Structure 1
Amino acid sequence: MRRLPPLTAIEAFVQVARLGSIKAAAEELALSSPALSRRVQSLERFIGKPLFERRHQALKLNNEGERLLGMIAPALDAMTDAVEAMTSGTELLRLRLSVLPLFATQRLMPRLPELKQKHPELHLDVDTASHGIARLGDGLDAAIVIARDVDPGLYARRLDRNRVHVIGARALVEGPDPVTRPEQLAKLTALVHRDMPETFTAWRAAAGFPELEPAAIDHFDSGTLMLEAAAQGLGIAFMLESHFEAARDDRLVQLFDLTVESHYSYWFVCRPRALSQRPVRMFHDWLIEALGAESA
């Protein structure tokens, strides 16, 4: 049998790679920073090459480290699940899912009791950080993202089709100078999500105002905060129809009687081989059924 490095060294490497910090990884593993550093260094000596670029207090994977992480992180996660399942006394399946906070709040969380009832053995680790697609296979099994399209090398299932809504505070239409015409946007701030950067420009072109410029454009990486900013009168949010309808916020109204198809949709995405894993397949099939009336 070929000799392997200590499992503790592999675990230390994966944690540092994921967290980007010796201190944070040490806290996660309940070790001192020097002890964790020694474990990472022992793995580097075993392999015979450095795995990180060391920058002051932070560590960044080099090319060799990226390659190693991609190969061993899924195996380590599978081992962790196997041990957890054995010690719990029941079969336990775990899905590591990346999902945008607004989708999670509006459309996923209200349905999770149904999933738990149908598959009580399936547990979710929910990750709301950005760049979910880029991290597939590195601590993530699947992702629910919003995008125009998805890399054809990945498995992707469109979850909806949508229209762009212009969303603002109710006071904008009930005040002394109500906002009723798109031209009035020239005096207002447009709120745009970083994952949907073309929403405003596509809307103004489809609405017949290709030269319209707002007073400013503010970018958000949180749909929840965009809705709140709009409700507080901080700007006009260019979001999806489903976002507005699911918010059920009496402070918000749809501005203008214009229907513009959105270039963006929500997608379920994973690596093709991940569909052969039971947790991924179970969640995928349940999600498609749960959103059946909304799916393309």
Structure 2
Amino acid sequence: MRRLPPLTAIEAFVQVARTGSVKAAAQELALSAPALSRRVQALERFIDKPLFERRHQAVVLNEDGERLLQQIAPVLDRLTDAVESLTSGTEVLRLRLGVLPLFAAQRIFPHLAELRARHPQLHLDIDTAGHNMARVGDGLDAAITITRDPDPSLYAKRLDRNQVYAIGARSMIEGPDPVTDPQQLAKLTALIHRDMPDTFSAWRHAAGLDELEPLAIDHFDSGALMLEAAAQGLGVAFMHASHFDEAHDPRLAKLFDIEVASPYSYWFVCRPRAMQQKPVRLFHDWLVETLVEE
């Protein structure tokens, strides 16, 4: 049998690669930073190649490190799950899922009890950090992302088709100077999500107002905060109809009766071979059955 490097060295390498920080990885593994560095160096000596580019505040995988991580991280994750299932006395299926917070709160969490009742052995590790599609296969088993077009190298299932709404405070249409004409946006702030930068331009084009410029454009990376800003009268949020409908917030109102197909959709994405993994397959099938309207 071919000799293998120590499992502790492999575990240290994967943790540093995923966090991008020796300090953070050491905290996760309950080690000192020097002890963790020695484990990574032991792996590099074993394969006789450096795996990281060392920088002042971070470590970044080099080409060899990227290749090794892609091959070894899924194996380590499966090993971890196998040991956990044996030590817990029951089968545990764990899914590392990347998802945007607003989608999780509005569309997934209201149905999680149903998922747990159907698959009590399935457990979710929820990751709400950004750029989740880029991290699929590298720390995430699967992700729910919002995009125009998913990465063609990934398996992708569209979860919805939506419309863009102009969403503002209800006081904007019920006050003494109601906002009834889209031209009034020239005196208002547009609120745009960083993952959906073209929502306003798509809405403006559908309204036949390509030259219209708002007073200002404020960018957010949180849909929940966009809705709150709109409710407080801080601007007009250009978001999906589902975001408005699922918010159930009496402070909010759709400002104009304009039909605009969104260029963006929510997608479930994973590596093609990940669909062969039981936790990914179970969650995918439940998600599609629960949320997708054919």
TM-score over 0.5 (shorter chain): yes
After superposition, what is the alpha-carbon deviation per residue over 1:55-105, rounded to whole angstroms, capped at 9, x for unaligned? 113111111111111111111111100000000001111111111110000
* Superposed counterparts of 1:8-157, under 5 Å: 8-157=8-157
**Structure 1: segments with no counterpart, 5+ residues:** none
> Letter of the aligned partner of 1:108 in structure 2?
I
Secondary structure of 2:98's counterpart equals: strand
Distance 1:111 1:271 in 2: 25
1:285 and 1:34 map into 2 onto residues whose CA distance is: 44
CA distance in 2, matches of 1:154, 1:138: 13
Runs of 4+ in 1 over 6 A off after TM superposition: none
Q: What is the alpha-carbon distance in structure 1 between the residues aligned to residue 178 and residue 201 of structure 2?
A: 23
Counterpart Cα distance in 2 of 1:230 and 1:173 = 13
What is the alpha-carbon distance in structure 2 between the residues aligned to residue 24 and residue 202 of structure 1? Answer: 41
What does the per-residue CA deviation read over 1:239-279, in whole Å, with 9 as the maximum and x for residues that have no partner? 00000000001111110111111111111111111111111
Tell me the TM-score normalised to structure 1 length. Answer: 0.97
Cα distance in 2 for residues equivalent to 1:16 and 1:153: 25
- 2:269 and 2:236 map into 1 onto residues whose CA distance is 30
Task: Give 1:290's aligned amino acid.
Answer: T
C-alpha displacement at 1:52, in angstroms? 1.1
Q: Residue 85 of structure 2 aligns to which amino acid in structure 1?
A: A
Q: State the match for 2:261 in structure 1.
A: 261
Q: For residues 97 and 57 of structure 1, what CA distance do their matches in structure 2 show?
A: 27
Q: CA deviation at 1:176?
A: 2.0
| Distance (Å, rounded) in 2 between the aligned partners of 1:209 and 1:166 | 14
Amino acid at match of 1:149: D
User: Percent of aligned pairs with the same residue?
Assistant: 74
Q: In 1, distance between residues paired with 2:57 and 2:284?
A: 40
* Counterpart Cα distance in 2 of 1:46 and 1:268: 38
| Range with bigger deviation, 144-153 or 21-30 | 144-153
Post-superposition shift, 1:215? 0.9
Residue 189 of structure 1 corresponds to which residue in structure 2?
189
1:111-260 to 2 correspondences below 5 Å: 111-260=111-260
Q: When the two structures are superposed, what TM-score results if normalisation uses the length of structure 2?
A: 0.98
For 1:17 and 1:157, locate their aligned partners in 2 and report how far apart those are by CA, in whole Å: 28
Letter in 1 for 2:248: R
Two-structure CA RMSD over aligned residues (Å):
1.0
Opposite residue 255 of structure 1, the aligned amino acid is L
Report SS of the residue matched to 1:146.
strand
For 1:88 and 1:65, the matched residues in 2 are separated by 33
- In the aligned structure 2, how far is the partner of 1:62 from the partner of 1:219? 33
* Partner-residue secondary structure (3-state), 1:35: helix
Checking the alignment, whether the CA contact within 8 Å between 1:77 and 1:139 is kept in structure 2 is no
Q: 1:182: Cα distance to partner?
A: 0.5
Q: Which amino acid aligns with 2:91?
A: E
Gaps of 5+ in 2: none
Distance in 2 of aligned mates of 1:104 and 1:281: 19
Q: How many residue pairs get matched?
A: 294
**Could you list the per-position Cα deviations for residues 214-257 of structure 1 after superposition, in whole angstroms to 9, with x for gaps in the alignment?**
01111111111110111111111000000000000111111011
| CA shift for structure 1 position 155 | 1.3
Counterpart residue identity of residue 244, structure 2: F
